[in-house]
Amino acid sequence: MGKPDNSDLSVIPIYGKCSPFNPPKPESSWVNTVIDMASKDPARVKYLSTLVAQKTTAVPIASGQQVLNIGNYVVRVKLGTPGQLMFMVLDTSNDVAWVPCSGCTGCSSTTFSPNTSTSYGSLDCSLPQCTQVRGLSCPATGTAACSFNQSYGGDSSFAANLVQDSLRLANDIIPNFAFGCINSVSGKSVPPQGLLGLGRGPLSLVSQSGSLYSSVFSYCLPSFKSYYFSGSLKLGPIGQPKSIRTTPLLKNPHRPSLYYLNLTGVSVGKVRVPIDPEVIAFNPNTGAGTIIDSGTVVTRFVQPLYEAIRDEFVKQVKGPFTSIGVFDTCFDATAETQAPLLTLHLEGLSLTLPMENSFLHTSAGSRACLAIAPVPNNVNGALNIIANLQQQNHRILFDVANSRLGIAREVCN
Name beta bridge partners: 57: 235
Please report, for residues 77, 249, 391, 405, the alpha-carbon distance to residue 236 in angstroms, rounded to integers and kept in the order given.
17, 17, 20, 14
The backbone torsions φ and ψ at residue 346, rounded to the nearest 5 degrees and listed phi first, read: -110, 155
d(CA 87, CA 79): 11
Question: Catalytic residue among 91, 95, 165, 399, which?
Answer: 91
d(CA 386, CA 391): 8
d(CA 197, CA 213): 15
Please report, for residues 97, 179, 196, 215, 368, the alpha-carbon distance to residue 403 in angstroms, rounded to integers and kept in the order given.
23, 25, 21, 10, 37
Q: Which residues lie below 8 Å from residue 374, measured CB to CB, with a gap of 6+? A: 300, 301, 302, 303, 306, 307
To which H or E segment does residue 189 belong? none
Q: Which residues lie below 8 Å from residue 334, measured CB to CB, with a gap of 6+? A: none
Give the other-Cβ count within 10 Å of 38's Cβ. Answer: 22
Instruction: Reply yes or no on whether 91 is catalytic.
Output: yes
Instruction: Reply yes or no on whether 5 is catalytic.
Output: no
Contact 18, 62 (CB under 8 A): yes
Q: Is the dihedral of CA 142, 143, 144, 146 positive or negative?
A: positive
**E strands present in 295-376:** 299-301, 322-324, 327-332, 342-346, 349-352, 359-361, 367-370, 372-374
Question: Catalytic residue among 41, 165, 293, 399, which?
Answer: 293
Q: Which has the closest alpha carbon to 95: 171, 154, 186, 177?
A: 177
d(CA 183, CA 161): 8
Contact 76, 68 (CB under 8 A): no
d(CA 234, CA 204): 16
d(CA 397, CA 403): 11
To which H or E segment does residue 55 belong? none
Catalytic residue set: 91, 293
